[in-house]
Amino acid sequence: MSVLHETFAAARAEGRAALIGYLPAGFPTPADSVALMAAMVENGVDIVEVGLPYSDPLMDGPAIQAAAATALAAGTTTDVVLDVVAGVAATGAPTLVMSYYNPIEQYGLRRFAQGMAEHGGVGVITPDLTVDEAGDWEAATDDFGLDRVFLAAPISPEDRLQAVCRACSGFVYAASIMGVTGTRASVSSGAQDLVARLRRHTHLPIAVGLGVSTGDQAAQVAGYADGVIVGSAFVSRIIEAGSPAEAARSVGALARELAAGVRQA
């Protein structure tokens, strides 16, 4: 059983979903990003996704695009991202990287997988990598003991969902909507149906992301999913903050609200 599986199992034993928080590495600076993700963990986030900033973030909404641009302007490279992973992993929370496939491929699949393992990372989420083209990546992650996470979409047919589940090893990321990341007034009604469909094909934990931003929404999703993923809401809190200290307080407050939410389900 991997560290990710143990974390989901521990949450399940408490009668709740796991809370997963995302922030881009290097936003607003590398040191600040580590401190902010540590604040998330201190206030109830169970698993951390470290975003690898990319210059062409087609799947991301305005908040994460702006954060990635800030991180890149601050000189955040893939090596810096790995250093951030090490800093976040030191909190004790299982730490993954979420990245488009192109920067991983440019860095080198085995080099990146080895770097993740050496820096304490436990897995990688690749939202734009299709399972049909993931053979080399699967081999690299297997060799260095990393969990793989692929995305499942609401419009995917059953054979595609089955293939996604078969390729995943950590958990399955159920995208609640077709579209870019961002906070929304409500979570898509299709998310619960997608989770039910995925359960026919896997015993892995299933986490829902895209659109969750409040404790009430977290509670709603926790009623049917094993994990609740929140990203844009954390990023927006930092963008709106007037100082690093204020950002840490705001991120911590949101983490506490969401952590309470996943315990209400």
Residue type for position 210: L
Write down the catalytic residue from 46, 49, 147, 226.
49
**Model pLDDT for residues 53-95, shown as the tens digit of each residue:** 998 877 788 899 999 999 999 999 999 999 999 999 999 999 9
pLDDT at position 59 is 78
User: What global pTM score does this model have?
Assistant: 0.94
Token pair listed for 213 = 């931003």
* Mean pLDDT in residue range 20-46: 97
Q: State the pLDDT at residue 91.
A: 98
pLDDT of residue 182: 40
Provide the domain count of the chain.
Answer: 1
Active site residue 60: yes
The single residue of 60, 83, 147, 226 carrying the catalytic annotation is 60
Question: How sure is the predictor about 187, in pLDDT bands with cuts at 50, 70 and 90?
Answer: low
User: CA-CA distance, 238 to 94, in Å (whole number)?
Assistant: 22
Cα–Cα distance list, 123 to 3, 95, 138, 167, 220 (Å): 10, 7, 11, 13, 26
Q: DSSP of 142-184, one letter per residue?
A: HHTT-EEE-EE-TT--HHHHHHHHHH-SS-EEEESSSS-----
- The yes-or-no answer on residue 240 being catalytic is no
Find the CATH number of the domain harbouring 47. 3.20.20.70
pLDDT, position 212: 92
Contacts of 107 (CB under 8 A, 6+ apart): 78, 115
Q: What percent of the chain has pLDDT over 90?
A: 88
**Domain span holding position 213:** 3-262
Given a cut of 50, whether residue 181 has pLDDT beyond it is: no
CA-CA distance, 84 to 206, in Å (whole number)?
Answer: 26
Residue 220 tokens read as 């709603």
Q: What is the pLDDT of residue 183?
A: 43
* pLDDT of 178: 43
- Residue 265 pLDDT > 80: no
| 47 pLDDT higher than 70 | yes
First-last CA distance in the chain: 26
Q: Which residue has the higher pLDDT, 238 or 1?
A: 238
Q: What is the pLDDT of residues 132-166, one digit of tens each?
A: 999 999 999 999 999 999 999 999 999 999 999 99
Please give the pLDDT value at position 52. 98
